[in-house]
Structure formats: C-alpha cells, structure tokens
Chains A and B, each alone.
Chain A
C-alpha cells in the first residue's frame, strides 16, 4: 500500500509532461504498420496523430511509438490515396 502523503492534495498533478510516463499502448487492438518503401514522408500522419505517436528521424517517417499508440487508425486513413503506406493489423495476429 502506498503511503497517503504521496497523494497530492485534491488530485493535482504537480508538474507537466507526465502523460509520457503513462503507457497507453496496451489499449491498442489494431497496430499500425508502415511500409517505408512506399512512404513519401509527407508527415500528414505525424500531424494528424492524436497521441503524438508517429516517430520521425531527421524529418522523415521512422515508425510508431507503440507505448502510446492507441491504434485509432487515423494515420492509415489520412495517408494519401496514392501512397497508402500504413496498414492496420490485428494485434492478435
């Protein structure tokens, strides 16, 4: 059991940026998979991702932060029709 004193008064989280420490990847049912050969790094997925879970390296698409990706599929839907580099696959598979 955690001691009471560790609970901040009124549920205030005393500092910012703590969402990063909380893993939400476990909520995911569908996992995004990117085909980097097809991907043009237009980064529309990076703009649209509500969980900031698209990882980039030197301005190019590099994959996903699966600790925080909830599998909503917005990236796959927003990937331009001519490209369609992202597929959502069942986590169960």
Chain B
C-alpha cells in the first residue's frame, strides 16, 4: 500500500502505522504468523516485501512458537529482527520469549493487545502482554496511533542500546488503536535511519572463524549469574529509555517520558491506567476539573522495567489513587498494574489510599461516565481516608 503524506501528515490505522514504521526500519528478518487484531501489520509488511520496498527476509511460519524461534535464530545470527502478534499468538510464543531475553537478543515485537481465551474473544484487554510481563522483555505501552508508531522506533533503540540488549515489546490496544484511523505525523525515512542507526551484534552464529555457541547449558554454578546479568540490564533499561525518549523529542518534537501525567500536580484523586483508556479518562478529568474537583491521571508508558520511584514521586501528592487494570491476575487480589503501583507507593508517608478496578475485559467499552464514577469514588476515599472496596470489576 502506497502511503502519501501531506505536509508529513497522514491518516493511518494503528496496524498500518506500525507496519509503516517497520518498513522504514527495514529489519533484516521478520518471522511472523498473522493473528487478529494484529494481522494487518504482517499483511501490510508482506506487501512491502513483495513490492521490494524493503530488503527484509520475511519468514512465513506455521505458528507463533516458530515465529519467535525463527526470530531468535536470526537475531543470534546478528540480524535486526522484528515481528508482531496478539493474544494466543503471544501465548504460543511463551517459552521462546524467555529464551529471546535470556540470550539477550534485541528483537522488537509489536503486540496488539487482545484478550486471552477462554472464552475466546478477539477484542482488547491486556491479559496477553501482562502475562508476559515477567518474561524479561522491555514493555512500552501506547495510547494513540501516533504513540504506537513512535514507540516502534524507540523500542529498537532501547532494545539495541549497549547497556540493555534485551528484546522489547510495543503494546497498543486491539481494534481501539489498531483499527482506528488517526491523523499522524510520519518521520522521513532518512531521519528514521539516523535515529535508529545500524545494529552490530556482539556475536554471530554465522561467524565460522570463532564458531561461538548460543544457548548452552548452565548448571547451578553459573545460571544465577546470567540471570543477575539480565536483571541488571533491565535495571539499566530505564536510563536507556529516558535517553532514547529525550533524543526522540529533540529530533522530532514529540516529547515522551516513562509515563504521562495529566493535570496531576495538585490532584487529590488520580487514576492510573494504560493505553487508550487514558484518552477517555482525560475527558473525565477535564469535566470534573470544571466542577472544581481535583483529579488527575498517570499513564505508565514504560511498564518493564517498572519505574517505581518515579511513579511514586509523581503520585505522592494524591490522597486516593485508583489503578485501572484491563487484566486480572486471578490472584483474588486485583490486577497486575495495581499490585505494582500499590507496592511502589508503600514507602510514601503519608501513604495514599490505593484501589483497583478491573475494567474493559474482552473489549468491553470504558466510557467517560465510568471514569467519572471511579473518580467520585476515589474522591470520597480521599476525603474520608477509607476504602470501601479494595478491588472490584467495573464496566459490567
């Protein structure tokens, strides 16, 4: 598909924007298996391959397990590698996700968030990428098409950063972002090339002179050292992300941080929420602010590594915080974002009240009225200092 931009602006769906970013990056290898709602990424990209607009080796595989396995093989050979998936596809990649991160291969994956079966559902929630949150991948979340497009370039830089060398996942909401057309600004191909630079792997399977071995066995005498090494790389990924986002802002004028805050400075009650639901929440913030209610929003962008000190610093002025989770940890204690945000706030003095609301599973709409209800409940907790219900489902 030929994309024409007027003054650098064009209307694209989230999927087409991600595919276009991949075209501009022109990775050495892409191994992918299409799955709703990320299908269009692979479909568009295979068009670019067929039309000779990229030099990428596109490997069409029989499953997502094979897709990630092929990505790992290619990355071990020293290639810059990208792929895309959703939901069951990410689930099928599971064991290979850990191998990609453990082998320190900076593969970039676009995950279009979709609910996990069962019951089967093709619509948005975050149970897929939240399940992969401990797989050692850097995770970036995106509210809009523009942000998803921009995050793809930043993910490449963060993943390949010399202090990091970990795979990275860009998450965007299925259908809500992946299929909605937004007017976005494209970056010139030349500028993309300058921003991402070239990738030079430290070791390559194809180096027959040195004949290195990848994926060797480690026993109790070495395994933990490799895991510590990986953990330290994830710790450093925060600094790398800040550096990359800063450089991105300087070059292209769009400023990004570890998270976004919206009218949070003097807020008494706040919502913490990922991805597209933040847009809806901002409308509710504006409406309630007009009524003189002090409410605000924090939207994490970098979820892995989890910038807990910065998040605690941004939320320390709030009396009550409601974390919205589009996934349930099924631990009878709420969702994953809640557990981590609440833990991050534990050392604050005074410690804010923190509640969890599970919303929008399987693509259920989250509306402005839902956000207003959540804010009103949080404002009540801010006033009384008491939480009536710690965890509950909303948008039912």
The chain A residues found within 8 Å of chain B, CB to CB, are 2, 4, 7-18
Contacts and interface: CB of A to CB of B under 8 A. Distances in A.
Contacts of A16: 210-213
Contacts of B216: 11-13
Contacts of A18: 213
Nearest to A1: B225
B104 A7 contact: no
A17 B208 CA distance: 12
18 contacts: A4-B229, A7-B225, A9-B203, A9-B229, A10-B104, A10-B105, A11-B102, A11-B103, A11-B216, A12-B203, A13-B212, A13-B216, A14-B210, A15-B210, A15-B211, A16-B210, A16-B211, A16-B213
Interface residues of B, number: 20
A41 B119 CA distance: 66
A21 to B, nearest CB: 12
B202 interface: yes
Contacts of B210: 14-16
B215 interface: yes
A9 B165 contact: yes
B208 to A, nearest CB: 9
- The B interface is mostly helix, strand or loop, or mixed, namely loop
Interface of B: 102-105, 165, 202-203, 210-216, 218, 222, 225-226, 228-229
Given A9-B203, A10-B214, A10-B226, 14 more contacts: A4-B225, A4-B229, A7-B225, A7-B226, A7-B229, A9-B165, A10-B103, A11-B102, A12-B214, A13-B213, A13-B214, A13-B216, A14-B212, A16-B213
Contacts of A7: 222, 225-226, 229
Contacts of A9: 104, 165, 202-203, 229
Nearest to B101: A10
A16 B205 CA distance: 11
Contacts of A14: 203, 210, 212
Contacts of A15: 210-212
A11 B219 CA distance: 12
A11 B203 contact: no
Contacts of B229: 4, 7, 9
B107 to A, nearest CB: 12
